[in-house]
A and B are shown apart, each in its own frame.
Chain A
Amino acid sequence: MLRNYLLTSLRNLYKNKLYTIVNLLGLTIGLSCVMLISLWILEQYSFDNFHPNGDRIYRVLENQYYSDGFVLTTSATPGQLAASLKTNWPEIALSSRVTWGDEKLFKVDNKVFKEKGYHADPDFLRIFNFPVIAGEGADALEEPGKILITTKMAEKYFGHTDVVGQMIRVDNEREVQIAGVMADVPDNTSFKFDFLLPLKDYEKNNDWLKNWNSNGIRTFLMTTPQSPNLNEIPDLKEYLKTVSDQDNADLLFQGLADMYLRYDYKDGKYQGGGRITYIRLFAIIALFIILIACINFMNLSTARASTRTKEVGIRRVSGATRGMLIRQFLGESLLLSIFAGVFAVVLVQLSLPAFNELFDAHIYLDFSKVGVWSLLLGITLLAGFLAGSYPAFFLSRFQPIEIFNKLGKQGKGANWFRKGLVVTQFAIATFLIVGTMVIYLQMNHIRHQNLGFQKENFIYMPVNGTLWDKYDLVKTELTNLPGVQSVSASNGLIYQWGNNTSSVSWPGKDPEASILFQTIPVELDFMETIGADLVDGRDFSAAFPADSTNFIVNERAAEMMGLQQAVGERITVQGDEGQIIGMVKNFRTNSLHVEQEPVILMHRPWKNFIFARLNTDDTQQTLGQIEKILATHNPAYPFEFSFVDKEYEKLYRTEARVGTLSRLFAILSIFISCLGLFGLATFTAQQRTKEIGIRKVMGASISQLSTLLSGEFLKLVIVGFVIAAPVAWLVMHDWLERFVSHIELSWWIFIMAAVLSISIALLTISLQTIRAASINPVKALRYE
């Protein structure tokens, strides 16, 4: 029996090559997309999930409430918080501070490289599961002078991992002892590091850690097993107010599992977003794509039903029950989906490198895992069932008498169902087209936003080692290069130029007011170098010694202080009084997701980055010359630089990625939809051969017939559009709202999407319809 079914199925697939190819191609593409997306989602969910006590681990967040209604939620906490929480709260078993990620220069013999790592407290290794495979573990982080490195780093510098007790030179200034070797950190962790240094080391150079009012380090906690969720302890929330002067702030505890997926705070509350949004988005897209592929299958199978009714009739007359027939047809679709599944796995394997690159992911198909097999098989079989169920029930429903009586005719119900499916497909496709266009336009909009500074031909170089001591000399030499327009320096860049403070007072300030300003320590020529416009007053100048205490504000700051004529006023910033000597046009100090910040520039020493504005011609040569100059003054460090415009793009990496992927998936889903449409058009044309012949004899021309045939499909595509347009409008409107500056959702986007989907559909069916319309009527009518 089974053999008989299998044979008929295979023969059927082979006999209807077009049908088989269309279905196989559609299902293969659909399954590959779904497999890729599922693997990616699994990877995303696996982030930070390898810590055995994960449900007891929290990251501390702080909400700061300002008088203008702004609430800053930050993971930057005071340096004293970790220890204090552990001592005073029995619920908290372990606590550790962790820096944001430090780059250090390491040297062993003549091997010199930069590595990324953290400064952390000993509890870091007790809270998190980063196994130490040789030497000391957490204890190594107790006192300065020791370091933990990963196997990878050990191999890199020593060629082997038996390095406990060896010395390694840090930042060209001191030797530390390797106290232990850790296993390499996995890909799916929020902490990516090759070394850990004691936080005490960091404390030596960072006095602010002792200050309860300075937020600048991350705090992680692990509770006792008995402890309730930390957010449910009211006093804990208000703890900061009791130990510090931060009376506008409270604490928030984010579970470890949420750290990677759900970081999206506004007004002090979780807004439901974060990476999880994109997981949801792509889960929906995956569902869409597999649905489209399955719809193809259902459509073509039911359309083809007329050619199979005879088989059904004969089988039923020979005693097959309905159940048997359902099993047969389901088996057929499963067979097809398994073929497609195999192709899809190959396709996934081939596209993984590109996908990983694009997504910055580390997915691979680990065939030694049962989970991977069951995932792939599950997806494949599910698609097979989904695709095969309707045709199976539809085909098996025929009564033999009915079939022999009106061979080749079908119920109107099937027709409606089929039309509904095509409408669904094109609704989805249109939705994706609109989405893709909006994302593309918005990204373009961001790229061409007036930022208030010129991000092109603008490089920055981190200040390494003792470079700062020679800044003036370096600046003179750089400025003398023909390819360099001007040089300056600042504490930070692009989205974090400086520090935030609310300790600012100005004439006429409401005593209750607390507003968060960004303060940016800058060097001379800052304005010219970044390309910002001064609207009033002047820039800092060497000619005015008093400028070392003076300020320049941006328009937004002047507006928030309520100063009509800001230039000339005296203000106090973090205890230092000085005069406002200039007002600069607003320039972007953060991503377009958030409002323009009020900014205060001051001329203070110590900067982290040197900036240079280059002339447009021969950048390569200029860079070479800059490298030479830096190498003379800072020989211990390799030359590092970045173009600001490239870094700026990174701010929107997620959106750009989503844009690329949505484009890809939109194209794929349209392709699959069109495959189905093509198949359907072919069958319809076949079915209507006689009608076309008659109409031709009645005097219809080829163009009239093509219009007739295409028109019916076009109607479906248009209905699909009408359904999709409002949904797309709502969703994309919502998405755009995330940007402070965004494009308008204008009607022409929708018109373009409609034109696009209609022309693609037309193109797809035109070949079939024109061929059908050109048929020789004598042939069409001769053999009835």
Chain B
Amino acid sequence: MIKLIDLEKSVRTGLNRAWILNQVNLEIKAGEFVTIMGPSGAGKTTLLNIIGMLESPTGGEYHFLDEPVHRLNERKRHDIHKQYMGFVFQAYHLIDDLTVYENIETPLLYRNVKGKDRKSIVADILDRFSIVAKKDLFPDQLSGGQQQLVGVARAVIHKPRLLLADEPTGNLHSKQGEEIMELFRELNEEGVTIIQVTHSEKNAEYGSRIIEIVDGNIRTDEQVRKSASVYGTK
């Protein structure tokens, strides 16, 4: 599904060039549940953002489902991003002025899903995540764990093939964190490819593969166990 070849990300700092990511080679197959770990400032978020097409690499190749992303234009990248990806943030990033229901509905609005369909899709997910009772509340009326639940619901509402999560439990108690991880596992079992960044060993155990990044480079890459479900060959 994802193939990175000699991927680079560098920034100018004054006269010098600093590499945030350097010579990253990585292949991720559909259905995997990958955990990215590493010290702070190692470049984890940057890698995730590049995979999520929120940032562009400065060198190397990025293939997503056989498409050479590094050669596509902005518009095409936006389309792929829209069609295949969902995001979960450490800081939840819900829209303050919208209710839980409206927050979850947002991605569907940008995918031109019809009103009636939207309703049933959102109702399904509210039900599945057991937050039906909260649907008319605003984000600041929810606990952190509940907010992240909404964040995950919003990230998967449009049935993305790839879920990207940057420290999704970073702001949560371990109990709440576990809940989210359970949810990720379920989603992965349903076929969603997941890439998460985390500092927690415990969370890493939910995944099938752990990649450690240090100083913009892949230090280790180990298969923890077999992926829950692997379909497709890439």
Contacts and interface: CB of A to CB of B under 8 A. Distances in A.
B154 A698 contact: yes
Contacts of A320: none
A694 B93 contact: yes
A701 B87 CA distance: 16
Interface in B41-75: 49, 52, 54-55
A366 interface: no
Interface stretch (A458-466, A760-768, A776-784): A776-784
B93 A695 contact: no
B131 interface: no
A569 interface: no
A695 B30 CA distance: 26
Contact of B106 (A693, A695, A776, A784): A695
A312 B154 CA distance: 37
Given A694-B95, A778-B49, A778-B54, A699 B89 contact: no
B110 A690 contact: no
B82 interface: yes
A243 interface: no
Contacts of B89: 781
A701 B110 contact: yes
B110 A704 contact: yes
Interface string A253-289: 0000000000000000000000000000000000000
A698 B49 contact: no
B93 A700 contact: no
Contact of B107 (A690, A698, A701, A776): A698
Contacts of A473: none
A695 B52 CA distance: 14
Interface string B76-109: 0010011000010101011111000000001100
B47 to A, nearest CB: 12
A167 to B, nearest CB: 90
Contacts of A697: 52, 54, 87, 93
Interface string A692-719: 0111011111001000000000000000
Given A695-B106, A698-B107, A699-B111, A690 B93 contact: yes
Contact of A781 (B93, B94, B111): B93
Given A777-B54, A778-B54, A778-B55, A699 B107 contact: yes
B4 to A, nearest CB: 18
A103 interface: no
Interface string A193-236: 00000000000000000000000000000000000000000000
Contacts of B110: 695, 698-701, 704
A691 interface: yes
Contacts of A694: 93-95
A698 B87 CA distance: 8
A250 B119 CA distance: 81
Contacts of B78: 699, 701
Q: Which of A409, A698, A781 has the most CB of B within 10 A?
A: A698
Nearest to A700: B110
Contacts of B55: 776, 778
Contacts of B106: 695, 698
Contacts of A701: 78, 110
Contacts of B49: 778
Contacts of B158: 699
Q: Which of B81, B91, B95, B111 has the most CB of A within 10 A?
A: B95
Contacts of B93: 690, 693-694, 697, 781
Interface string B122-157: 000000000000000000000000000000001000
Q: For the complex, would chain B's binding face be called helix, strand, loop or mixed by DSSP majority?
A: loop
A784 B91 contact: yes
Given A777-B54, A778-B55, A781-B89, A699 B95 contact: no
Nearest to A698: B107
B93 to A, nearest CB: 5
A704 B110 CA distance: 8
Given A704-B110, A781-B89, A784-B91, A699 B82 contact: yes
A306 to B, nearest CB: 13
Nearest to B87: A697
A691 B82 CA distance: 17
Nearest to B95: A691
B171 to A, nearest CB: 11
Contacts of B54: 697, 776-778
Q: Which of A690, A778, A784 has the most CB of B within 10 A?
A: A778
A43 to B, nearest CB: 52
A690 B93 CA distance: 8
B18 to A, nearest CB: 17
B56 to A, nearest CB: 10
Nearest to B89: A781
Q: Which of B93, B96, B97, B154 has the most CB of A within 10 A?
A: B93
Contacts of A700: 110
A777 B77 CA distance: 14
Contact of A699 (B81, B91, B96, B97): B81
Interface string B165-200: 000000000000000000000000000000000000
Contacts of B97: 691
Contacts of A691: 95-97
Contacts of A695: 95, 106, 110
Nearest to B154: A698
A691 B52 CA distance: 18
B88 to A, nearest CB: 10
Nearest to A693: B93
A39 B130 CA distance: 70
Nearest to A691: B95
A700 B87 CA distance: 13
Nearest to A692: B95
Nearest to B55: A778
B10 to A, nearest CB: 16
B80 to A, nearest CB: 11
B118 to A, nearest CB: 14
Contacts of A690: 93
A345 B129 CA distance: 66
A701 to B, nearest CB: 7
Contacts of A781: 89, 91, 93
B160 to A, nearest CB: 10
Nearest to B92: A694
B66 to A, nearest CB: 22
B21 to A, nearest CB: 14
Q: Which of B54, B78, B82, B106 has the most CB of A within 10 A?
A: B54
Interface in A644-700: 690-691, 693-695, 697-700
Contacts of B107: 698-699
A411 to B, nearest CB: 13
Contacts of A699: 78, 81-82, 107, 110-111, 158
A690 B91 CA distance: 11
B198 to A, nearest CB: 18
A778 B81 CA distance: 14
B134 to A, nearest CB: 19
Contacts of B82: 699
Contacts of A698: 87, 106-107, 110, 154
A746 B81 CA distance: 50
A701 B106 CA distance: 12
Nearest to B94: A694
Contacts of B81: 699
Give the 4 A-B residue pairs with the shortest CB-CB distance, closest first. Answer: A699-B82, A699-B110, A698-B107, A700-B110
18 contacts: A409-B96, A691-B95, A691-B97, A694-B93, A694-B94, A695-B106, A697-B54, A698-B106, A699-B81, A699-B111, A699-B158, A701-B110, A777-B54, A778-B49, A778-B54, A778-B55, A781-B91, A781-B93
